[in-house]
């Protein structure tokens, strides 16, 4: 059974994060974001056709072989019919959008029925199918998803129940997005605002509250100039900006000094953390379950996740490689498959974290790219290559690391990364220059279990730390050892790299042998405003554009800057 999961409409201007996922006989064999192919960040207003073509070609699947298509938004056109079956929240099917979503591929694909699923259900199903728990609660929080902004699900043996859903006006994602815009970090700047929040002191003021007992949200009653009942979705973003202008310092979004907004960012971050804890408490009250899965764009907030993992009382708290909208394609594919009779299944317990869903990169493709750019490269045996990289990092150099199938999702997790040793702050400055980022932006650490121990860090949270979805406090003895990967508040958004993680684990071990600390600072392989690199061709182009990069590694090749 071959099934596609999709999100993204070329005819809907606000649509973003288009992506596709290919499932064969219940197993995800590939997934890819459209932006990696089209080279437009977030692929706003794009459909997923290029990503689908790339996946089908990489896996030798002809469009005619696809048996079902699931779409991760309940976006069915007029005249579609509803489908009865094991999937909650309403399912609709229509064959009227094939030409729209696949402007050119529809010739080979033919006119196809597409199943349209509830967006938050797709978020929930992706969290379920990429984790090893047969029974779990699932908290979905994002900007908005159809008729709600936050949904509480329970899943058991592949069957999902929606326990509660909260109105769009209480959107955690919108609160954070508007706060980011207000603090001059842009509507997509949630990650930047989170970084900025560490520089501010929290005042214990929460913009929004949630009561786990009653399940009710409320605006802080001291906020001036707004009426909670006046909130409506169409104007929600503008209303939040108005709230901030009326109530927070600085009273405009035009201050030239980013750090003026740090106390504000700290309070917004504290608000999100308390809301996340409250929602987790609500879900636990409703179900009594021991496992909580986190999904939706808000689940990219690593500090909130860390607090939920440590304070909510759930025994297991896990996320996935892509809790954001792109990740809904996993859920859409699995739900489409369940309509055909094969229920959504969790992963086996002992499997490695599912991260690298991109197309395989053959040596021939690397060699073709080297020839195209007339780049001189050395082909090296694996051990020697890793030692060479480790020695280069130890000298304070910046290494572009391009290894195998790319990771899905917004984080660089060991396939498309800019790497540097974490021992010197100067190198972080150099990395930030490659990325065109502000010098105050922190970098994440990637490290093995030995690295966590060497830095005396808070323990790994299985299911979160593998995906850089959790912050960890670093012990006093570790602070100077990895100063470039530790934020001003003494935490690190760290990635735990388990054994056998593509080529990344072995590289970190080599770094440990060279420096005594199996850790690197790790940020995505891209330049400002561009998506992460997908192909070897793009990696060489990026190196040519960024003189701060000292070495590009595409195993088995090392490209030295001449
Ligand atoms: Fe979403």
**Alpha carbons 204 and 212: distance in angstroms, whole number:** 19
Distance (angstroms) between ligand 1 centre and the Cα of 283 equals 19
Distance (angstroms) between ligand 1 centre and the Cα of 353 equals 22
Tens digit of each residue's pLDDT (9 = 90 or more) over 422-445 = 998 888 889 999 888 888 888 899
Domains along the chain with CATH numbers: 2-121+329-339 (3.30.420.40), 132-319 (3.30.420.40), 363-560 (3.90.870.20)
Whether the link from the prior residue into 34 is cis, omega within 30° of 0, is no
pLDDT value of residue 250: 73
DSSP string covering 427-448: HHHHHHHHHT--TT---EEEE-
* Dihedral angle sign, alpha carbons of residues 390, 392, 398, 400: negative
Distance (angstroms) between ligand 1 centre and the Cα of 330 equals 13
What is the token pair recorded at 273? 């953390």
300-315 mean pLDDT: 97
Distance (angstroms) between ligand 1 centre and the Cα of 81 equals 24
Distance (angstroms) between ligand 1 centre and the Cα of 72 equals 9
375-389 mean pLDDT: 95
3-state SS assignment for residue 559: strand
Q: Inform me whether the pLDDT recorded for 303 exceeds 60.
A: yes
**Residue 469 pLDDT grade (very low, low, confident, very high; cuts 50, 70, 90):** very high
* Dihedral angle sign, alpha carbons of residues 194, 443, 19, 161: negative
pLDDT value of residue 233: 67
Distance (angstroms) between ligand 1 centre and the Cα of 297 equals 6
What do you get for the CA distance between the two ends of the chain, in Å? 50
Distance (angstroms) between ligand 1 centre and the Cα of 145 equals 6
Distance (angstroms) between ligand 1 centre and the Cα of 147 equals 12
84 contact partners, CB below 8 Å, separation of at least 6? none
Distance (angstroms) between ligand 1 centre and the Cα of 139 equals 12
What is the token pair recorded at 521? 């600072």
Tens digit of each residue's pLDDT (9 = 90 or more) over 171-208 = 999 999 999 999 999 888 898 999 999 999 999 899 99
Distance (angstroms) between ligand 1 centre and the Cα of 555 equals 35
What is the token pair recorded at 221? 């009653």
Distance (angstroms) between ligand 1 centre and the Cα of 233 equals 15
Distance (angstroms) between ligand 1 centre and the Cα of 298 equals 9
Distance (angstroms) between ligand 1 centre and the Cα of 367 equals 39
**Residue 227 pLDDT grade (very low, low, confident, very high; cuts 50, 70, 90):** low
Distance (angstroms) between ligand 1 centre and the Cα of 70 equals 15
Tens digit of each residue's pLDDT (9 = 90 or more) over 107-159 = 888 899 999 999 999 999 999 999 999 999 999 999 888 788 999 999 999 99
Residue 534's closest CA among 403, 339, 374? 403
Tens digit of each residue's pLDDT (9 = 90 or more) over 315-373 = 999 999 999 999 999 999 999 999 999 999 999 998 889 999 999 999 999 999 999 99
Distance (angstroms) between ligand 1 centre and the Cα of 40 equals 19
Distance (angstroms) between ligand 1 centre and the Cα of 142 equals 5
**Alpha carbons 357 and 30: distance in angstroms, whole number:** 5
Mean predicted lDDT score pLDDT of the chain: 93
Distance (angstroms) between ligand 1 centre and the Cα of 496 equals 26
Distance (angstroms) between ligand 1 centre and the Cα of 149 equals 9
pLDDT value of residue 255: 72
pLDDT value of residue 14: 81
Tens digit of each residue's pLDDT (9 = 90 or more) over 257-291 = 888 899 999 999 999 999 999 999 999 999 999 99
Q: Which residue has the higher pLDDT, 84 or 72?
A: 72
pLDDT value of residue 237: 87
pLDDT value of residue 399: 97
Distance (angstroms) between ligand 1 centre and the Cα of 43 equals 15
**Alpha carbons 505 and 507: distance in angstroms, whole number:** 5
Distance (angstroms) between ligand 1 centre and the Cα of 17 equals 10
Distance (angstroms) between ligand 1 centre and the Cα of 133 equals 22
Residue 171's closest CA among 197, 126, 141? 141
Q: Which of 127-131, 221-225, 260-264, 503-507 has the lowest mean pLDDT?
A: 221-225
497-513 mean pLDDT: 93
**Alpha carbons 521 and 427: distance in angstroms, whole number:** 9
**Residue 1 pLDDT grade (very low, low, confident, very high; cuts 50, 70, 90):** very high
Against a cut of 0.85, is the pTM above it?
Answer: yes
pLDDT value of residue 229: 55
């Amino acid at each position: 059974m071959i099934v596609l999961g999709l999100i993204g409409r070329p005819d809907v201007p606000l649509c973003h994060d288009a992506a596709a996922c290919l499932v064969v006989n219940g197993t995800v064999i590939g997934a890819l974001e459209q932006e990696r192919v089209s080279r437009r960040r977030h692929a706003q207003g794009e459909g997923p056709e290029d990503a689908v073509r790339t996946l089908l070609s990489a896996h030798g699947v002809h469009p005619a072989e696809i048996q079902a298509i699931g779409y991760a938004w309940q976006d069915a056109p007029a005249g579609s019919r509803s489908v009865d079956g094991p999937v909650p929240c309403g399912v609709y099917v229509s064959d009227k959008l094939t030409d729209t979503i696949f402007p050119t591929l529809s010739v080979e694909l033919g006119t196809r029925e597409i199943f349209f699923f509830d967006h938050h259900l797709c978020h929930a199903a992706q969290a379920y199918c990429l984790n090893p728990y047969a029974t779990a609660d699932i908290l979905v929080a994002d900007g908005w998803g159809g008729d709600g902004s936050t949904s509480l699900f329970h899943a058991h043996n592949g069957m999902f129940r929606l326990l509660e859903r909260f109105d769009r006006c209480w959107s955690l994602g919108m609160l954070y997005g508007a706060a980011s815009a207000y603090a001059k970090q842009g509507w997509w700047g949630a990650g930047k605002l989170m970084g900025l929040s560490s520089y501010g002191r929290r005042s214990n003021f929460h913009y929004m509250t949630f009561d786990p007992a009653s399940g009710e949200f409320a605006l802080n009653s001291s906020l001036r100039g707004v009426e909670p009942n006046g909130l409506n979705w169409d104007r929600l973003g503008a209303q939040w900006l108005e709230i901030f202008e009326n109530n927070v310092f600085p009273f405009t979004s035009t201050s030239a000094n980013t750090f003026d907004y740090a106390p504000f960012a700290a309070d917004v971050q504290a608000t999100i953390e308390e809301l996340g804890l409250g929602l987790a408490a609500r879900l636990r009250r409703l179900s009594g379950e021991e496992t909580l899965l986190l999904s939706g764009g808000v689940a990219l907030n690593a500090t909130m996740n860390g607090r939920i993992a440590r304070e909510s009382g759930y025994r297991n708290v896990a996320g996935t490689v892509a809790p954001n909208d792109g990740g809904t394609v996993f859920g859409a594919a699995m739900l489409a498959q369940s309509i055909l009779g094969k229920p959504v299944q969790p992963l086996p317990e002992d499997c490695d974290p599912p991260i690298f869903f991109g197309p395989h990169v053959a040596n021939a493709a690397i060699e073709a790219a080297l020839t195209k750019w007339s780049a001189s490269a050395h082909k090296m045996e694996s051990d020697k290559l890793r030692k060479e990289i480790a020695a280069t990092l130890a000298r304070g150099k910046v290494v572009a690391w391009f290894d195998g199938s790319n990771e899905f999702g917004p984080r660089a997790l060991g396939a498309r990364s800019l790497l540097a040793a974490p021992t010197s702050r100067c190198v972080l400055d150099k990395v930030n220059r490659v990325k065109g980022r502000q010098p105050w932006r922190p970098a994440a650490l990637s490290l093995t279990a030995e690295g966590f121990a060497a830095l005396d860090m808070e323990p790994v949270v299985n299911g979160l730390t593998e995906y850089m979805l959790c912050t960890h406090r670093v012990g006093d003895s570790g602070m100077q050892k990895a100063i470039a990967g530790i934020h001003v508040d003494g935490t690190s958004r760290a990635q735990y790299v388990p054994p056998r993680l593509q080529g990344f684990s072995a590289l970190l071990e080599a770094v440990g042998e060279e420096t005594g600390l199996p850790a690197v600072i790790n940020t995505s392989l891209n330049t400002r405003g561009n998506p992460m690199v997908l192909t070897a061709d793009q990696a060489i182009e990026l190196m040519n554009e960024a003189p701060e990069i000292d070495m590009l590694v595409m195993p088995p090749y090392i490209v030295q800057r001449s």
